[in-house]
């Protein structure tokens, strides 16, 4: 070959270099895109798992509360530390859920940090940590959520009356009501209360339901007290500074330092009014944890059906709260 031939070969080689470089760049870009797509897929999977767990926490929390409440009702024995017991129950249930994700290089960790009362007594605060690890991707999330105590499809029972009456004959369940039979009379007599006979066959609501009548004074708005009657018939609970929260009710307490809820314990209808004064028909008063604070209430007839008279016994403080006429 002549000298020109060698020159042409050198020029061809110089032309090949940028093509080779471009080829390598394209390979690198394609590899980067593949890695990016893989990371996005992993990230999407992790976020979906996180969303699933976030959705399940309040639901599992309600299941744990319900199990512990019915456990107290069956045994008639209060929980010693309701927060600890319910928290452990939630942790066990969530551990079973996270185990289903722990495969194919995926590691999911869930931990209940705390369970506590809320300013709204119909909610319980739950604080959790979620950690999800997939290859080189780590997702850590701190959650502050609320567990609602009211769900019309899956209501939570009130365990406190079952504990309070356990040594006085006990109570029974009839549909959505707690029936006291003679136990409330025996209990009140043991505490030296007069006119306790009015609570023979008294009832109270079994399930936690928040009263929709707001403000509470609306209970006394109607002349014939229809609102109060509807509240009693539906078994609504009311926010109270003096009553126990749900976690303390699991411990058999009627009062606590947290924001609580109160209900009316309703005497059986009478054919005539035998007493005009009897222990106040509010649960935290009747089941007072302090032996000196069962105070009386005056008869309030809120409904008459034929010869039957329906009444509550309320003190002036509770009458004022619910917009009812004073004694």
How many structural domains is the chain composed of? 2
Mean pLDDT of 74-80: 97
Q: What is the pTM of this model?
A: 0.86
Q: Tell whether 104 and 236 lie within a shared domain.
A: no
Shared domain check, 172 and 314? yes
| Mean pLDDT value across the chain | 89
Asked if residue 138 and residue 219 are part of one domain, the reply reads no
Q: Are residues 174 and 221 in the same domain?
A: yes
Position of tokens 């093509």? 19
Q: Is residue 241 a part of any domain in this protein?
A: yes
Residues 165 and 106 in one domain: no
- Which residues make beta-bridge pairs with 238? 262
Decide if pLDDT at 32 tops 50: no
Calpha distance 240→230 (Å, rounded): 20
Residue 12: pLDDT over 70: no
C-alpha angle 225/280/290, rounded to 5°? 150
225 and 88 fall within a common domain: no
Q: Is residue 19 part of a domain?
A: no
Report the C-alpha gap between 90 and 115 in whole angstroms. Answer: 10
Average pLDDT of span 150-160: 94
Cis bond upstream, residue 70 (ω within 30)? no
Domain membership of residue 130 (yes or no) is yes
Residue 31 scores a pLDDT above 90? no
Q: What mean pLDDT comes out for the span 98-108?
A: 87
- Whether 168 and 308 map to the same domain: the answer is yes
**DSSP classification of residue 217:** G
Indicate the residue among 106, 128, 148 that finishes a domain.
Answer: 148
Indicate whether 20 belongs to any domain: no
Shared-domain flag, residues 131 and 190: no
Residue 93 pLDDT greater than 90, yes or no: yes
Pairing of strands 106-117, 277-279: unpaired
User: How far apart are the C-alpha atoms of 271 and 248, rounded to whole Å?
Assistant: 37
Distances (CA, A) of 62 to 89, 122, 147, 297, 302: 11, 12, 7, 36, 35
Q: What percent of the chain has pLDDT over 70?
A: 86
If asked whether residues 138 and 201 sit together in one domain, one would say no
The boundaries of the domain holding residue 124 are 38-148
């Amino acid at each position: 070959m002549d000298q020109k031939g060698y020159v042409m070969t050198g020029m061809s080689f110089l032309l090949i270099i940028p093509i080779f470089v471009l080829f390598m760049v394209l390979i690198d870009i394609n590899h980067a895109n593949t890695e990016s797509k893989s990371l996005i897929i992993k990230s999407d999977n992790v976020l979906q798992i996180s969303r699933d767990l976030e959705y399940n926490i309040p639901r599992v929390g309600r299941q744990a509360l319900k199990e512990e409440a019915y456990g107290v009702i069956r045994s008639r024995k209060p929980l010693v530390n309701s927060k600890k017991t319910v928290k452990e129950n939630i942790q066990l249930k969530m551990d079973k859920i996270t185990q289903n994700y722990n495969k194919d290089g995926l590691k999911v960790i869930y931990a209940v940090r705390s369970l506590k009362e809320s300013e709204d007594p119909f909610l319980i605060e739950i604080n959790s940590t979620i950690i999800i690890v997939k290859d080189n991707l780590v997702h850590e999330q701190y959650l502050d959520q609320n567990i609602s105590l009211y769900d019309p499809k899956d209501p939570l029972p009130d365990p406190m009356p079952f504990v309070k009456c356990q040594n006085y004959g006990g109570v029974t369940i009839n549909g959505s009501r707690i029936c006291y039979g003679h136990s409330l009379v025996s209990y009140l007599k043991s505490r030296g209360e007069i006119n306790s006979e009015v609570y023979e066959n008294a009832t109270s609501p079994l399930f936690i339901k928040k009263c929709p009548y707001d403000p509470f004074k609306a209970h006394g708005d109607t002349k014939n007290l229809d609102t109060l009657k509807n509240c009693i018939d539906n078994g609504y609970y009311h926010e109270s500074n003096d009553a126990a929260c749900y976690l303390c009710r699991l411990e058999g307490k009627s009062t606590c330092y947290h924001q609580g809820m109160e209900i009316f314990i309703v005497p059986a209808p009478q054919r005539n009014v035998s007493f005009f004064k009897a222990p106040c028909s509010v649960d935290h008063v009747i089941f007072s944890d302090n032996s000196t604070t069962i105070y009386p209430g005056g008869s309030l007839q809120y409904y008459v059906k034929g010869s039957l008279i329906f009444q509550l016994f309320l003190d002036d403080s509770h009458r004022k709260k619910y917009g009812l006429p004073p004694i």
